[in-house]
């Protein structure tokens, strides 16, 4: 919280001498009272932001290389998905469906009710607008996985198909299935560290 500095005029001496020791206890008590007020106000303002709006996360592992590297410090927007649905191409943080105490970071590839086909590293999406299939152009993928992870998955109306950008090194929906919307925490809005790679909406297509 930022406070503006105020210029105050010195109090004029009216010839009344304060008694020795007067005001000492009052000053300490006022200080404690102000600190308590400041602490409560900080909690009232900061706690909802921390819980409902934005959270910091530290990347662990190489499944999103080169988009996100191990040890990078990210800020996640948790508020937007209360008002709109996740979009294809967004990098999201979610609770791992098989162990909700763990958080994963991946990219949304397939949307609810779509069919996702992965074959020889190529992703094809079938939906109402593209019944014959639409091949995704994925310039964010530098390492294509062409071995043993071919899938053909029809998503339910509350499911998303997610994949890591570093396809050979990513455990994702190809291995353990789609992610229900209730597990999605939010999407990446800021990369704070390292400073040399600091950016807004990093990794968004």
Burial 17-45 (b: 16+ CB within 10 A, else e): eeeeeeeeeeeeeeeeeeeeeeeeeeeee
* First-last CA distance in the chain: 35
Q: CB neighbours (10 Å) of residue 81?
A: 16
Number of residues in the chain: 205
Q: Would you call 179 exposed, middle or buried from its count of C-beta atoms within 10 A (0-12, 13-18, 19+)?
A: buried
Per annotation, catalytic residue among 19, 84, 106, 205:
106
Q: Based on the residue annotation, tell me whether 63 is a catalytic residue of this protein.
A: yes
Q: In this structure, are strands 134-135 and 199-200 parallel, antiparallel, or unpaired?
A: unpaired
Task: Check 63, 149, 170, 173 and give the catalytic one.
Answer: 63
* Local structure of 125: helix, strand or coil: strand
> Side by side, which strands form the sheet with 134-135?
134-135, 122-126, 115-119, 151-154
**Of 86, 91, 85, which is closest to residue 166 (Cα–Cα)?**
91
171 included as an active-site residue: no
CA distances from 195 to 21, 93, 191, 192 (A): 52, 21, 8, 6
**Catalytically active residues, by annotation:** 63, 106
């Amino acid at each position: 919280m930022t406070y503006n500095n105020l210029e105050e005029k010195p109090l004029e001496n009216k010839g009344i001498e304060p008694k020795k020791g007067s005001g000492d206890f009052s000053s300490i008590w006022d200080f404690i009272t102000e600190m308590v007020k400041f602490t409560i106000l900080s909690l009232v303002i900061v706690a909802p932001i921390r819980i409902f709006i934005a959270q910091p996360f530290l990347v662990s592992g190489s499944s999103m290389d080169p988009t996100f590297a191990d040890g990078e410090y990210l800020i996640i927007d948790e508020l937007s998905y209360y008002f709109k649905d996740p979009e294809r191409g967004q990098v999201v943080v979610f609770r791992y469906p098989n162990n909700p105490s763990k958080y994963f970071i991946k990219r949304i590839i397939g949307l609810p009710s779509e069919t996702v086909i992965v074959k020889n590293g190529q992703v094809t999406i079938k939906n109402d607008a593209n019944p014959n299939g639409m091949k995704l152009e994925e310039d964010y993928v530098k390492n294509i996985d062409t071995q043993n992870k071919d899938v053909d998955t029809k998503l339910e109306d509350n499911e998303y198909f997610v994949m890591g950008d570093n396809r050979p090194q990513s455990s994702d929906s190809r291995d353990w299935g789609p992610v229900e919307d209730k597990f999605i925490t939010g999407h990446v809005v800021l990369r704070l560290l390292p400073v040399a790679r600091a950016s807004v909406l990093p990794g968004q297509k």
